[in-house]
Amino acid sequence: MQKIKVIAFDADDTLWINEPYYQDVERLFCELLKDYLPEDEVSIELLKTEKQNIEIYGYGAKGFMLSMIETALRISNNKVDANIILQTISIGKYLLNKPIELLANVEQTLIALKKDYKIILATKGDLLDQERKLKKSGLLHHFNHVEIMSNKNEEDYQKLIKRLEIQPEKFLMIGNSVKSDILPVISIGSKAIHIPFSVTWKHEILEKKHNEDFKTISNLSEIISLLKC
């Protein structure tokens, strides 16, 4: 850990609450469609649509909105009441306008670390939406660099490290998703610390087991002592 020069933080569900808001919106959506299909089945259909569309839409709220609308059409055999589409757009906009609620100890950890490290934000999602959330969070001025990525696989991290002009072993990633924030980072020779969040987004749940060769913390402030090891 003593080689580390750059610390990158994931944003959603690492620095601030995100997934519970998406789950709230999904619940509202399933309820809207309960006359066509039981709510838990609507949820399964929505996940199916999202998986089909992830390659074309990418991650983020707008793709989620479009997938909800497409799901509503499919499960109603294209007979869905237009008012339900209107309400789907409305709950999607509510999601985009949600205020930001920071997780515990975020700001003091960033302040403590920025004295000794280059601090960056590395998140995926809609460009404008993530920039807006960062502004609303009040954390923007703590970051030396912000990278909004269309995906977080090994190749994407390699590009990021090249852009930062550092060796992989000097890069530490901190995030809540083992799939996106931890495994690809370790596999390119960088370090990663996992900070689990209470709920995991369905797309981030790993199907196969992985080697637990990374550190896990339960509170962001633990990073400070870990970095001294």
- Report if residue 83 touches a copy of itself, rule: CB under 8 A: yes
One of 17, 28, 96, 102 touching a copy of itself (CB under 8 A): 96
One of 79, 115, 209, 228 touching a copy of itself (CB under 8 A): 79
CA distance 149 to 177: 15
Write out the binding residues for a copy of itself, residues 134-173 only, by CB under 8 A.
145, 148-151, 163
Q: Which CB atom, from 62 or from 114, has the smaller least distance to a copy of itself?
A: 62
Q: Closest by alpha carbon to 11, among 146, 144, 185, 114?
A: 146
- Report if residue 206 touches a copy of itself, rule: CB under 8 A: no
- Report if residue 37 touches a copy of itself, rule: CB under 8 A: no
**Residue 217, amino acid:** I
CA angle 59, 179, 118 (to 5 degrees): 85
Q: Is the dihedral of CA 161, 164, 167, 171 positive or negative?
A: negative
- Report if residue 63 touches a copy of itself, rule: CB under 8 A: yes
Which part of the chain contacts a copy of itself (CB under 8 A), choosing from 10-18, 23-31, 40-48, 93-101?
93-101
Question: Total residues contacting a copy of itself (rule CB under 8 A)?
Answer: 35
- Report if residue 229 touches a copy of itself, rule: CB under 8 A: no
What is the rounded end-to-end Cα distance, in angstroms, of the chain? Answer: 6
To 10 degrees, the CA torsion angle through 148, 161, 55, 203? -80
One of 23, 39, 57, 222 touching a copy of itself (CB under 8 A): 57
One of 8, 80, 122, 161 touching a copy of itself (CB under 8 A): 80
Write out the binding residues for a copy of itself, residues 110-129 only, by CB under 8 A.
126-129
CA distance 23 to 199: 10
Edge-to-edge strand ranges of the sheet holding 118-124: 145-149, 118-124, 6-9, 171-175, 191-194, 215-216
Q: Do residues 144 and 119 make contact, with C-beta atoms less than 8 angstroms apart?
A: yes
Binding site for a copy of itself (CB under 8 A): 56-59, 62-63, 65-66, 69-70, 73, 76, 78-80, 82-83, 85-86, 89, 92-93, 96-97, 126-129, 131, 145, 148-151, 163
